A and B are shown apart, each in its own frame.
Chain A
Amino acid sequence: MTTVFAPELEKAPGSNGSPGRPFHMLSLRVARLWGACADRAVPWVTGVFAVVPIAVLVAITVVLFHEALPAIRINGIGFLTRSRWDVGSGYGIPIKVHGVEMAPHTSYGAWPLILGTLESSALALVIAVPISVGAAIIVVEKLPPRLSRWAGICLEVLVGIPSVIYGLWGILTLGPFLSKHLAGIADHVPDVPVLRFFRGPTYGAEGLLVSGVVLGIMIIPIIASTSRDLIRQVPSSAKEGARALGMTDFEVVRKVIWPWTRSGIVGASVLGLGRALGETMAVAMTSGAVLGTTAHSIFSHMNTIAATIVSQLDSAFADGTGFEVKVLAELGLVLIVITLLCNFGAKLLLKRFGASAIAPAAMGN
Chain B
Amino acid sequence: MTLVAATPHEKGVNRARTAGDTIMWLVCGLALAALVLPIIWIIGQVIARAIPHFRWSFLTQPTIGNGGGLSQAVLGTLVLMAMVGVIAGVTGVGAGIYLAEYARRRSAILLRGATEVLAGVPSIIVGYVGFTALAIGLKWKFSIWAAAIALTAIVIPYIAKTTELALRGVPGSFREGAEALGMRDILILRRISLRAASSGIITGLIMALAISVGETAPLLYTAFWSVHNPTFGLHNSPVGYLTYPIWTFYNYPVKSATYLATESAFFLVILVGALIIASRLVSRRLSRYMPLGQG
Contacts and interface: CB of A to CB of B under 8 A. Distances in A.
Interface stretch (A95-103, A161-169, A193-201): A161-169
A234 to B, nearest CB: 16
Contacts of B122: 277-280, 306, 335-336, 339
A215 B146 CA distance: 28
A18 interface: no
A245 interface: no
Interface stretch (A70-78, A79-87, A183-191, A356-364): A356-364
Contacts of A131: 31, 34-35
A156 B203 CA distance: 11
Interface string B243-259: 10011001100000000
Given A160-B207, A163-B214, A332-B125, A313 B161 contact: no
Given A4-B195, A168-B250, A249-B21, A39 B185 contact: yes
Contacts of A242: none
Nearest to A42: B186
Interface string B117-155: 111111111111101110001000000000000000100
B215 A162 contact: yes
Contact of A9 (B46, B181, B211): B181
B94 A50 contact: yes
B106 interface: no
B232 interface: no
A173 B211 CA distance: 23
A8 B161 CA distance: 29
A281 B129 contact: no
Given A42-B189, A363-B204, A160 B243 contact: no
A310 interface: yes
A14 B54 CA distance: 57
Contact of B119 (A51, A313, A358): A358
B118 A57 contact: yes
Interface string A327-343: 01100100110011011
A109 interface: no
Question: Size range of the interface on B?
Answer: 35 or more
Interface in B177-229: 177, 181-187, 189, 191-192, 195-196, 200, 203-204, 207, 210-211, 213-217, 220-221
B39 A248 contact: no
Interface string A193-222: 000000000000000000000000100100
A10 B183 contact: yes
A47 B243 contact: no
Contact of A159 (B161, B186, B207, B220): B207
B21 A57 contact: no
A91 interface: no
A360 B214 contact: no
A328 B280 CA distance: 41
Given A63-B129, A154-B36, A339-B122, A358 B25 contact: no
Contacts of B45: 169, 172-173
B53 interface: no
A265 to B, nearest CB: 13
Contacts of B43: 157, 161
Given A4-B192, A63-B132, A250-B20, A138 B36 contact: no
Contacts of B195: 3-4
Interface in B4-59: 17-18, 20-21, 23-25, 27-32, 34-36, 38-39, 41-43, 45-46, 49
B24 A356 contact: no
Interface string A234-257: 000000000000001111010000
A160 B275 contact: yes
Interface residues of A, number: 101
A67 interface: yes
Contact of A8 (B30, B191, B200, B203): B191
A67 B132 CA distance: 8
Given A142-B28, A335-B125, A343-B117, A4 B196 contact: yes
Nearest to A39: B185
Interface stretch (B60-68, B78-86, B261-269): B261-269
A6 B289 CA distance: 12
Given A357-B120, A358-B116, A10 B184 contact: yes
Nearest to A143: B32
Given A160-B272, A169-B42, A313 B128 contact: yes
Given A5-B177, A248-B17, A278 B265 contact: no
Q: Which of A6, A162, A342, A359 has the most CB of B within 10 A?
A: A162
Contacts of A45: 94
A325 interface: yes
A181 to B, nearest CB: 14
Given A4-B195, A162-B215, A332-B125, A137 B28 contact: yes
B265 A168 contact: yes
A230 interface: no
Contacts of A137: 28
25 contacts: A3-B195, A9-B181, A38-B186, A42-B186, A56-B153, A138-B32, A151-B35, A153-B276, A156-B207, A160-B273, A164-B214, A164-B243, A165-B46, A220-B35, A249-B21, A278-B122, A280-B124, A281-B247, A309-B125, A309-B128, A310-B124, A313-B128, A343-B117, A357-B120, A362-B162
Given A168-B46, A280-B124, 7 more contacts: A43-B98, A130-B31, A161-B39, A220-B35, A248-B21, A310-B220, A343-B117
Interface of B: 17-18, 20-21, 23-25, 27-32, 34-36, 38-39, 41-43, 45-46, 49, 90-95, 97-99, 101-103, 110-111, 114-129, 131-133, 137, 153, 156-158, 160-162, 165, 174, 177, 181-187, 189, 191-192, 195-196, 200, 203-204, 207, 210-211, 213-217, 220-221, 243, 246-247, 250-251, 261-262, 265, 268-269, 272-273, 275-276, 279-280, 288-289, 291
Across the A-B interface, give the 6 residue pairs with the lowest CB-CB distance, nearest first: A134-B31, A278-B122, A162-B214, A49-B94, A46-B98, A138-B28
